[in-house]
Structure 1
Amino acid sequence: MGELPQCTAVCPSYMLKLKREDKPLIAKIRRTGHLKGKAVVRLVNHDMIRDLLIPSGRPNRYPAVFPRSQFEEIKMKAKHLSIPEKIALLNEEEAKRKEEEKECMRRRVALQDFDIGRIATGPDIVGRECDKTAQQANYALARAYELRQEQDDDVKKFNSVILQTKCHAIREAQVAEKKLIEKQLKEEEKRLDDMMEQERRKAIHKADEERRREIEKKQEYVKRLLNQIRDKEISKLLEAENVECESRKMQESNIQMQLEELEKRKKQIALQEKVRKDLEEVNNQLKRFREMEKEDEKAYEIKMKELQKMKAEQEECRELRLKAQALSYNQAFAKCWCTQKKEHDMRDKLNDLHEQRIQDEIERSWRMKEQMAARKRFELNEKLKMGREAQIEDTRRMRALEMAREKQEYENVLRAQQEAARKEDEKEKKRQKESEIYLKALLNQIREKEQTKIRERQQVQEEGILMRLEANCHDRQIKTIVQKKVNQLRTQVPEVYVKQVERQLEKPNL
């Protein structure tokens, strides 16, 4: 019960949900100003604005705790009674009051009888045994006297006047407080309506700004996409030009390599021709050497024949003289001749072997050079072929990668566009749903306010009817009681006071 008034004081929207009987209490709590200096945070939603009290760690100096009696009174007042129930309650109170008056009259008669009996019997008959009873009777007499004073006309009149004055004051305070609450409620409703209208305009402006930003983002995205496409086309053209330039350079390098190969081939052919000419020259020289050797051999043979002839002639001349030495000389000469012949044959064989070796080495070196050149040409052709295949494969792979990248980029762009469209649809649906919820909440609030106003009007009408009934009943009771008390007063007081009392009671404000 201590936290409800605080929340009511800081949350204006909460008053709309309270009962009418609690609104004076709310106004009273507001007027006390016990929330001064406390921390309050404002929570703004799309449907309402609330001021929430932040709990403090320090104890509250002015705790809003109701006494038990006040709580029960508020609890009883919070019950909504219909007109028949209120009339039945008034009748029950009237019957209870009449029953109390009858009981009071019975006690008065009993006390009077007791006094008469005590006077008739005398005080001596009662004695000491009746002291206790006398004390009780005295107490009852004092109490009865007080009750009789309460039932006096002047006390009742003044009590009724005071009560009526209090009722009028309380009623006027309630009416003023009710008007103040209605005025505050109207101002609060107007403020809430203005705030809701401002929030609605802000939401519309914010939605327009978001839509404009989304459009600008889409335009910027399309512009960037077009720039990327244009840059990619330019890069593709540049890559195509680079590929064409590289292919042209490769062709030029191939042509240059072919020209160099032809030049090398020509040089090799020239070298081969030169080697062939050198070999022919060497062969010619060898032939000339052989002819010269043959001529030398022929000359040597001629010389030998001449020597042999000369020797034969000398031998024939000296045959007789040198018979003994002829055999040894012939043997030595034959030996020398065999030796020279062997040396000559050996020299011929060595020369032939040397020539054959030289020719074989020249042919071997030429064949090795040819094989190396053919191997180099083959390796170069293989390298060129592998390079061309690798280049073709790289070109195909680059094209495939480029196509795959373009396809992936197209799919990414398409997916991004679809995702953006889906998000935009979701935002639009969410915005429409929020607008519908906001409209429903607004209509519900308007409907609740209308129903509250209708109930308040009905309650005011019921209260008016009840007040009229109460006033009629009260007037009848007052007239009866006043007439009765005036009649009793005439027997006890002068007529002037009676008339003065009558004039005072006949005043309209009384």
Structure 2
Amino acid sequence: MPQSAMSACGRGPGFRYRTRALTSQVDELLFGSPKKMLLPEQPACEPQERNRWGCSGPRGLSKSANAHPKKPKPETVRIITKDLIRDLKIPSQDPSGLSIILPKSETNRIVALSHVRTVEERGAEVQVKHKDRKVAMEAAEERKAKMRQADVVRKKNQGLSDLEAEAQEKAQYLLETANRMRIEQEDEVKKINEVIRSAQCHAVQDAQILEKRQILAELQEEEQRLDAMMEVDRRRALEAQEQIEQLHKQNKIQGKMRIQEQIEERMEERQLQEEIKQQERQKLLENLEKIRQDEYKALLRKKEEQRKLHLEVLKMNEEIQRAKERKKEGEKLADIRIMEYTTKKMEQEAEFEMEQKQMKRDREIEVARMRSLQERDTDYKADQDELRARRNQEAAEREWRRKEREQAKRKAEEEGRLKAARLEQVTYKEHLLSIEAGRERAEFERVLRAQKEEIVREKEREERQRQRVLRHADGVRQQMRERQTQAVEQRRAELQEHERLLDEARSRRTRLNEIKVKKLTELKLAGLPEKYCNEVERKVLILPALVQ
């Protein structure tokens, strides 16, 4: 397959374009209205171009026998591919008529726009944008602060309306509530509340102990009263128990008497039952005697029947014996008949065997006669087969000689074709060698150019690396300066924060003292006994003031 001149000049299969940018933009001027103009006549190819593209010199010009003598010969470019060498004419005019001419200013502008920014340049632009945004935000915050301050001054100068006053009172109430709740959450206040709750618990506990003692005294009195009542009930129960036991004794005596009467009645019933059983036993004996007599009579009848049956069996045995004798006589007659039949059959078989032997002798005589006739016929067939075999051999020899002649003829023709093919191969190989030589020369030039370009790119990379190192060093120094400035600012902020915390601690101690006095006053007003109030005051006053 033919390839272009660029592929022939050395972009191998592993060549890849270097990406300059992920996106691309094309200036619209490149698609403007073309200015039609005649192109100047192409100059002759330089020596380098001739070496690179194979421009025709004395050998590269297309030689046409029919060319007009007055018309100049067009320049050509020779393109060498793997399997083809072509000469292309170089046109002296723009064949499409769509070319345009750009001024130098537009060209410079397009080149400037086509510049691809590096990562460092994009990072610098982002930092500049961040700084600008930060400055703008700071300016906006300053304006907002000024506006808020002006609004506060304006509100102070003008009087408050009813709604504003009410809202202010609500806000003040909520603020006081929040402050009070916040103060209650502090550790010192929690401890004061804990001491107060402890005192209140002690007071409640003492009251509960006193109440418990009173309840115990009342319970003891109630128990004594209940004991007296229980003693009276016990005596009454004893008297009732004695009456019940007396009734039980009387009931037992009456029960014994009833049991004695029942025993006597049972004895009488038992005697009556014995008499009845005696009578039944007597009747049973009489019945048994009667049954025994009946059984004896039945036994006599059975013996008589057995005797009669025995006589019948004897008669039957005699008849069976006579039948056996008759059967034996029949078997003897059957044996005599079988012997007679066997003798007769043997005589018949002997006669049949004699007949078979005679037939066998006759068949042997006939076979001998037929064999002699067949031998005479076989000799004639053998002579005919030998004649046919001789004729077939002669025909095969003639066919073999014919094939040998044809094979020799084909061999001569094949050798002629091989000689012609060898000559053609030699010619084609010389042609391929010339093409390969041109290709190797082009490949050498391509490799040489690639090496030069690689050297230039390596120098550019080294320069970029050096610039990157310098920028990095500047960035590190800038960061160090910024960190030093931040450390100074942080130290100043820490000192200010320390002063603020000291002020807050002093105000907090004052506020806690006020809270202590207030809570002690509220505790006394709540009616807590003086003893517990003094105890709470003593504990509250000795609490250490914690400074946060």
Asked if TM exceeds 0.5, the reply is no
Bigger proportion of residues as helix: 1
